Amino acid sequence: MAEIEIIGAPQSNYVWSVRIAAAEKGVAYKYTPARPHTPEVDAIHPFGKIPVMRHGDLELFESRAICAYIDRAFPGPALVPADPRGAALVEQWVSCVNTLVDPTCVRQYIVGYVFPGTADGSPDRARIEGALPAMERQLAVLDRAVAGTGHLVGDSLTLADINLFPIAFYLQRFPESRTMMEAQKNLTRFVERMLARESVQATKPPPPPKKQ
Ligand SMILES: N[C@@H](CCC(=O)N[C@@H](CS)C(=O)NCC(=O)O)C(=O)O
């Protein structure tokens, strides 16, 4: 069958997760950078979000679904453990990060800097400040979660780690979140270990968001 095609801007945390997952599985793919709401994306995602994927006649949207397909359709190390307990814990952390951490840390806080929508293009301070208390709590929870083994689930890499990593990486690049991350030593070490992986280096987005 044709090669997989992964479509989406490289800076997107969800696109990056999908590309890390493919690299960890050793799955070759065609990469098509594209912003949300462009024709290539709209052709697959009913709401124009990235990433999207194509494999032969299969078209998929939602990073979790794309990662599930890559994990199950190809040989290579399992990104979700086969045992029910490990699999459920991976789902727990993916869901928690996607429904709580991403909305606060990425959509509210980081977007407040990167796509502020203010008249003069300056950071949206109200939006940024509004995210800080929840971020503080969330990063403390994540720090405790990786404190034991260095991973969110079990003692080796899973999709839960891959899904979290890009967000934690980007949080090191903005002022308030950088300070919060520095206080969370286990989470900082988690980012450092993920950065050392070949899959992460091979997919690192050029260029990263500008440091403030
Ligand atoms: N739940 C989706 C979220 C995808 C998502 O929000 N992608 C962002 C980029 S990181 C996007 O396309 N934003 C544009 C928009 O929401 O209009 C997934 O996991 O794939």
Q: Is the pLDDT of residue 209 over 80?
A: no
Sign of CA dihedral 32, 204, 12, 65: positive
Instruction: For residues 162 and 51, give the distance between their C-alpha atoms in angstroms, rounded to a whole number.
Output: 15
Mean pLDDT of 116-132: 96
Compute the distance from residue 148 Cα to the ligand 1 centre, in Å: 31
| Tokens 């994927």 sit on residue | 53
Nearest CA to ligand 1 atom 15: 49
Q: Report whether 150 contacts 157 (CB < 8 A).
A: no
210 compared with 44, residue with greater pLDDT? 44
Angle at 195 between CA 192 and CA 201, to 5 degrees: 165
Write down the domain spans for the chain: 4-73, 84-203
Instruction: For residues 67 and 64, give the distance between their C-alpha atoms in angstroms, rounded to a whole number.
Output: 5
pLDDT in tens, 94-112: 999 999 999 999 999 999 9
CA atoms within 13 A on the CB side of 126: 2
Q: Is the pLDDT of residue 18 over 80?
A: yes
**CATH number for the domain formed by residue range(s) 4-73:** 3.40.30.10
Mean pLDDT of 71-79: 97
Residues touching ligand 1 (Cβ under 6 Å) are 12-14, 36, 48-51, 62-64, 98
* CA of 41, closest atom in ligand 1: 12
Average pLDDT, the chain: 96
* CA of 14, closest atom in ligand 1: 10
What CATH topology corresponds to 84-203?
Glutathione S-transferase Yfyf (Class Pi); Chain A, domain 2 (1.20.1050)
Mutate to test the pocket of ligand 1, among 17, 19, 50, 100 (most ligand atoms within 8 A of CB): 50
Confidence of residue 2 (pLDDT cuts 50, 70, 90): confident
Confidence of residue 210 (pLDDT cuts 50, 70, 90): low
Instruction: For residues 114 and 209, give the distance between their C-alpha atoms in angstroms, rounded to a whole number.
Output: 8
Is 56 exposed, middle or buried, given 0-12, 13-18 or 19+ CB atoms closer than 10 A? exposed
Compute the distance from residue 50 Cα to the ligand 1 centre, in Å: 5
* CA of 61, closest atom in ligand 1: 20
**Is 84-203 in the same CATH topology as 4-73?**
no
Instruction: For residues 109 and 87, give the distance between their C-alpha atoms in angstroms, rounded to a whole number.
Output: 30
Q: Report whether 170 contacts 204 (CB < 8 A).
A: no
Compute the distance from residue 67 Cα to the ligand 1 centre, in Å: 15
Contacts of 125 (CB under 8 A, 6+ apart): 112
Confidence of residue 161 (pLDDT cuts 50, 70, 90): very high
Compute the distance from residue 33 Cα to the ligand 1 centre, in Å: 14
